[in-house]
Each structure stands twice: as structure tokens, then as C-alpha cells.
Amino acid sequence: MQYNHETSSGPSNTNWRQSCSAQEEEHFVGLTNNGTTCYLNSLLQSLHHTPKFRELVFKWRYDPEHDPDQDHCVPYQLQRLFAYLTLSKRNSVDTTQLTNSFGWQASDLKVQHDIHEVFRILFDVLTDGSHSKETDSSPPQKNYNNDSNVSFSDLFCGTVIDHIESVDEKKQSGEVYQTTKVDSFMDLQLAIRDVSSVEEAIESFLKSEEMKGDNQWCCEELGNKKIDAVKNLKLAHLPYILTLQLKRVDYQTNTPVKLGNKVTFPFVLDMSKYVDDQQHLFDLYSVIIHSGDALTGNPCMEMMRLLAIPQMLTCSCTAEETQS
């Protein structure tokens, strides 16, 4: 599930890139299913219909010294595919050259890969690992409409503060033992077993967790002694595109079972209660839904993308479904 903002494409040096950014889309172009690649096609369509992501893909420049083999250069093949999706008059285009750049063989096209992992791998290639660098808990706010330095990481990466403190054990000074770390995230993975809405799932994700019994905290200051503690998560920074993963897989007697309970979601998600002094309204624009059971080989997750709502801009909403 994703929420997003509309932006105009910047100028380019080549004619086809200018056409891609300026042309009115007269019709939608599909993607050929090359085996069981419907999950990949849904992901690619969702990304292609994300204006800022599409703009960054078209701005990317091929460097033959860095990637001498175009056939195995993922950004090059993704850019090429997006150009066809934007300019082609055909009903559908083929993804074979893109999947070949992944290093996939014919047998890989018959396997329903984890859409979540495929997105992460694609993201790693596009950012060249830059998103894994240490992240500040309060990165500077950017103007996503005008900032030419906006990156793929800026679009999808947020930060969360993970804080743990002891319950009973205290230092001689009377202070509690505690630890705080800042992690980056590309999506929020939300459990839905006992919830009926996305808002409830977010509340559950962020609620305090008691660490006791078999789940005690190993305190380094006490030589990794296990003690009772409380863990809290706080969202420090939200990305431009907020991706939510609704986890529909559960395990009963070690057997994966798909949860079929209804989970409602808003078209506009207000995150103001979770973040301070930030853009907090997100407009739903993409939903990818798993259709099938937990044994089909496709992950039982629903992906929602939400785009931050900028002042005086409007956003589009799209929905896609993956078939198993």
C-alpha cells in the first residue's frame, strides 16, 4: 500500500526522455506475463505510475565505463521498459530484457518470487547501496517538487527510533538501563490478526512491548544479563512515499495460513499523532493485493503505497491486483 505526491518531470537532454516526461498518456500499456510474473508486473506498473520515481528513472544516465554490459545493467533496462510503457502504442510490452538483467533464467520466471524482496533488490541496485549508510534521526525536509537532489532513498526511506529501558533493574544512580538506536525503513510491516483497519494496525505496530519471560532484554551494561524491559518504537521521519505491508500470513501448527479478515483503509491517512513537525497527510495511490492462499508460493501480503500530500497539489490513485 503506498501513498504519494504528483510532480512534473524535469528537462532532459535526449529526445525520447523529453517525450517521456512531456507526452500526455493517451492509453495505458500492459506488461506481458512471462510465466508467473504477474506479481512483478504489478510492482512495475505501480512504480511506473509513481511520477517522481518515474522521473528519477528517466534522469538516470548510462555510464558504459561503470556498466559496460547494457544487457545486464538493471537501471538501463528499467529505464528502457519505462520508456516503452510511456511511449508505446501497443497494448502490452515484454519484460524479458529486464528480467534477463536480473540474471534470471527461464526457470526463475515460473517461480512466484517474494514481491517485497524483489522491490528491495531493485531498490538496492538503483541506490547502489547508498540507503544503507548511517541515517540521522531528523533528516532535513526537502521540497520534492523543486529539489533536483531528491534521490530514490528520499522517496522511500524513513527512520524509526527503537528505545528499550529496564523495568526493575536500576543503576546505583537510580537511573534505568536503556538503549536507543535509529534504524531506516522502506516499509512498515503491519500485523493484522486482531485488527480491522490500517489505523489500528499502525497503533499496534507502535504500541509499547513488554520484554519479559522468554522475551527478556539482554542488557549489555550488565554483561548481557536478561532482564525485564519495555520497548517503544517512534517514527522519527516519514518518507515521501509511505509503503505499508499488511501481513496476511500466519502459522498454525507450523503450517502457513492466509488471514482473510477484512481490513479497512482510508484514502487519506493522517500520521500527525506519530510524527512531530512534519508533513503528515498521505494520499493513497496504489494497492497491490495478493489473490490466492498461503501455499501458492506468493507472499501473503498486501502492499499499499501512500504519497505525502503537498500543499496545493492533487494526487492520483491507482489500484492493482496480483493473481496467483
**Of residues 153, 270, 113, 103, the one with CA closest to residue 202:** 270
**CB neighbour list of residue 114: distance below 8 Å, 6 or more residues apart:** 299
DSSP code of residue 225: E
CB 111 within 8 A of CB 36: yes
> What band does 10 get if pLDDT is binned at 50, 70 and 90?
very low
DSSP code of residue 174: S
Q: What is the mean pLDDT of the chain?
A: 79
Predicted TM-score (pTM) of the model is 0.77
pLDDT (tens digit per residue) in 204-213: 999 999 999 9
Q: So what's the pLDDT on residue 278?
A: 67
Between CA 11 and CA 34 the distance in angstroms is 34
> What band does 192 get if pLDDT is binned at 50, 70 and 90?
confident
pLDDT score of 17 more than 80: no
pLDDT score of 118 more than 90: no
- Calculate mean pLDDT across residues 106-129: 83
Angle, helix 15-22 to helix 51-59, in steps of 10 degrees: 170
Between CA 149 and CA 147 the distance in angstroms is 5
Per DSSP, the residues of 114-149 read: -HHHHHHHHHHHHHTTGGGS---SSPPP--TTT-TT
Q: How far is CA 180 from CA 185, 210, 215, 277, 293, in A?
A: 16, 16, 18, 21, 39
pLDDT score of 60 more than 50: yes
- Calculate mean pLDDT across residues 16-39: 70
Better-scored residue on pLDDT, 307 or 181: 181
Between CA 192 and CA 188 the distance in angstroms is 12
Place of cell 498518456: 25
Domains and CATH numbers, the chain: 2-323 (3.90.70.10)
Residue 248 burial (C-beta neighbours within 10 Å; 0-12, 13-18, 19+): buried
Q: Which amino acid is at 73?
A: C
CB 274 within 8 A of CB 206: yes
pLDDT score of 67 more than 70: yes
pLDDT (tens digit per residue) in 232-250: 999 999 999 999 988 877 7
pLDDT score of 161 more than 90: yes
What sign has the CA pseudo-torsion 168, 174, 177, 180?
positive
- Calculate mean pLDDT across residues 89-100: 93
pLDDT (tens digit per residue) in 124-157: 989 873 333 334 444 445 555 555 577 899 999 9
Between CA 259 and CA 245 the distance in angstroms is 14
> What band does 59 get if pLDDT is binned at 50, 70 and 90?
very high
Better-scored residue on pLDDT, 179 or 18: 179
pLDDT (tens digit per residue) in 292-320: 554 454 444 566 677 766 432 323 333 33
pLDDT score of 75 more than 90: yes
- As beta bridge partners, residue 301 has 247
**Of residues 308, 247, 244, the one with CA closest to residue 279:** 308
